[in-house]
Structure 1
Amino acid sequence: MESCYYVPIDAPDAKDAVDDGFEYFQPTEGTQSVWASTMQHGGPPSGLMMRSLLRCDPSPDQQFTRVTTEILGPIGLGVNRIRAQVLRPGKQISLVGTDLEVRMPDGTYRLAARSMGWRLRTADTADIVEEPEQLTPVPADLETVIGVTDSDELGVDWGTIGFIGTIESATVEGRTGDTPAVWVRPAIPLVGGEDISDLESIFTVIDIANGLGTRLRTDQWTWMNTDTTVHLTRIPQGPWVGIDADMTQGPQGFGATFADLHDTTGFIGRSAQTVMLSRR
């Protein structure tokens, strides 16, 4: 197993080494996609962009409440660079965006993914809390494995290489459809030499919801997502996220995956993904 998803590096060319706000990273084999060995799974780049959003002019009085990640093309395994900026400043509401670019063979960079996060000011609303029932049992009371358990029941051959081989999981009974819910967390750091934060951990693995919520077989279909939107209802606690997902297939070659999200203390929000369906 790899020791991390991304290794921080210096800009590869002198002309890139200007103070332009970019951070540079070398992806490891732990980021590899389940769909092709030449590109990254959507999870680690989503975690890296969440890290970028969190570090961009942080405000102790605001928290991220909605984050949308757009995958604009294959995210290659060459040098990645990332930069964030505040797009809409404000004391109560702000919008932060971050771009992830991939270095091409000729030394230029191609925009491969983008995340946009809304931050809202926090306040005490504990007296009006209404949320779905907590997902149980929690990982501390379950046997966990590397990869995803019950893969035959999920209809997915997840394997143990690349990204799926770097996550820890435990399966429980689902509530949103007829597929299991899965507790999952990264088993390795996001960036070498750093501790992963709770939000970084959760956003690194939420992308797999479309795989967890499907009843299709990988030898017959593919169901690649082009985006992931997460709406949070409170600040997540801990590295584990419980993903209770269900994918709906439409009649014109596309569908959507919706998932309830939990941490080990309760419900934290929902995610949605657009899915492109292709017959093998």
Structure 2
Amino acid sequence: MEPSQVTEQSDFTAYFTPIDPPDGADATYEYFRPSGAVVSVWSPKIQHGGPPTGLLVRAMERAVDPSDGQEFSRVTMEILGAIGLGVNRVRAVVPRPGRQISQVSAELEVQQDDGTYRLVARATAWRLKSCDSSSVQRLPRTPLDLTPDRLEQHIGFPEVNGIEVPWGRVGFIGTVTVCGQPSRVGGLAAIWIKPNLPLVAGEHTSPLASAFTVIDVANGVGTPLDPMTWSWMNTDTTVHLIKQPAGDWVGIDSNMAAGATGYAASFADLYDVTGFLGRSAQTSLLSRQG
């Protein structure tokens, strides 16, 4: 692994800044310039998966009628290629409208050196009609034992699996606040995490987009691997929700199942400060360093 080298998080005011469409560009997209706050720990030339996921969720939220009584129930984000640091553009559509069930999707493209755009990520979400089902509510987990206000908070992940890492406050990881407590699913620890920057400059980030900006870290939180020997780059994130997130904090209690042939799967219980939120699943490519 070659850690990214970026300046401290205080030098950034947001993950993305909106810009006007470049001359001749397709105006049906929204255009953004990513800041150094999005940079991945795996390479200084690519983005961490979190901020692009948040940007896709933001686009999907903006593509639907918020008064239609439906809520986001499942979101899948797939990384189709390296998400570079050039101009990013996003567009969302509703391929399956409906009064009770609908589907919305979004695509993210990155401008290449020759000025063309390459598709690098895609998200799809199902939205379901909400109603009062409190009489049959069933939660598989009680709330996490400790809330963020009762735990020591710090920036990033200076240690992973008990090992000090040089990239623990690099790029995106250096822009999140984290606090930990014992895992209940056999992982190394459960964490509370929140982004410290707005997703888009000049905007308030919705709780849903904020949550999806940080949920991507679940594959790293639950890894049993030596971070100085192995890397684990995920290709996708799928989240099933039983309610909409509330507040900035997301609790992640994750555990990785590592196979014998070079890939792994991470599964996490998710929480907000009011209780159980849902579950996530990710696949990761395992690579030995050096």
After TM superposition, is the score higher than 0.5? yes
Partner of 1:52: 59
Which amino acid in the other structure matches residue 84 of structure 2?
G
Residue 231 (structure 1) shift = 0.1
May I ask how many residue pairs the two structures share in their alignment? 277
Counterpart AA for 1:69: M
Q: Distance in 2 between matches of 1:166 and 1:86?
A: 32
Which of 242, 259, 272 aligns to 1:250? It is: 259
Matched, 1:88 2:96: yes
Does 1:170 pair with 2:179? Answer: yes
CA RMSD of aligned residues (A): 1.3
2-structure distance, mates of 1:10, 1:26: 10
Consecutive unaligned residues in structure 2, runs of 5 or more: 1-8
Contact 1:156 1:211 in 2 (8 A): no
Q: Of 176, 188, 193, which aligns to 1:184?
A: 193
Deviation per CA, 1:174-197: give whole Å up to 9, x if none: 111131001000011100001111
Residue-by-residue CA offset, 1:145-192 (whole Å, 9 max, x unaligned) = 111365352776542120000001111111111310010000111000
Q: Indicate if the aligned counterparts of 2:158 and 2:164 stay in contact, CA closer than 8 A.
A: no
Displacement of 1:104:
0.5
Give me the whole-angstrom Cα distance separating, in 2, the residues matched to 1:203 and 1:279: 28
- TM alignment of 1:1-280, pairs within 5 A: 1=9, 2-12=12-22, 14-16=23-25, 18-19=26-27, 21-60=28-67, 61-131=69-139, 132-148=141-157, 150-153=159-162, 158-280=167-289
What amino acid maps onto 1:95 in structure 2?
Q
Letter in 2 for 1:57: V
Instruction: Measure how far apart 1:120 and its partner are.
Output: 0.3
Moved more, 170-179 or 88-97: 170-179
Deviations 1:73-93 (A, max 9, x none): 100001000000001010000
Secondary structure, in 3 states, of the residue corresponding to 1:261? Answer: strand
Checking the alignment, whether the CA contact within 8 Å between 2:161 and 2:224 is kept in structure 1 is: no
Matches of 2:120 and 2:170, distance apart in 1: 23
Contact residue 211 and residue 248 of structure 2 kept, 8 A: yes
CA distance in structure 2 between the aligned counterparts of 1:251 and 1:155, rounded to whole angstroms: 26
Residue type of the partner of 2:245? Answer: P
Task: Using the TM superposition, give the Cα deviation of residue 57 of structure 1 relative to its aligned residue in structure 2, in angstroms.
Answer: 2.3
Contact 2:39 2:46 in 1 (8 A): yes
- 152 and 255 in structure 1: CA distance in 2 versus 1, 3 angstrom threshold: closer
Secondary structure of 1:15's aligned partner: coil
**One-letter amino acid of the structure 1 residue matched with residue 40 of structure 2:** S
Whole-angstrom CA distance in 2 between matches of 1:158 and 1:175: 27
Are the aligned partners of 1:64 and 1:118 in contact in 2 as well (CA < 8 Å)?
Answer: yes
- Give TM-score, length-normalised by structure 2: 0.92
The one-character-per-residue Cα deviations of 1:1-45 (angstroms, maximum 9, x if unpaired) are 211100111112x211x54x2000000000000100000000000
TM-score normalised by structure 1 residue count: 0.96
Identity of aligned residues (%): 51
The answer for unaligned runs of 5 or more in structure 1 is none
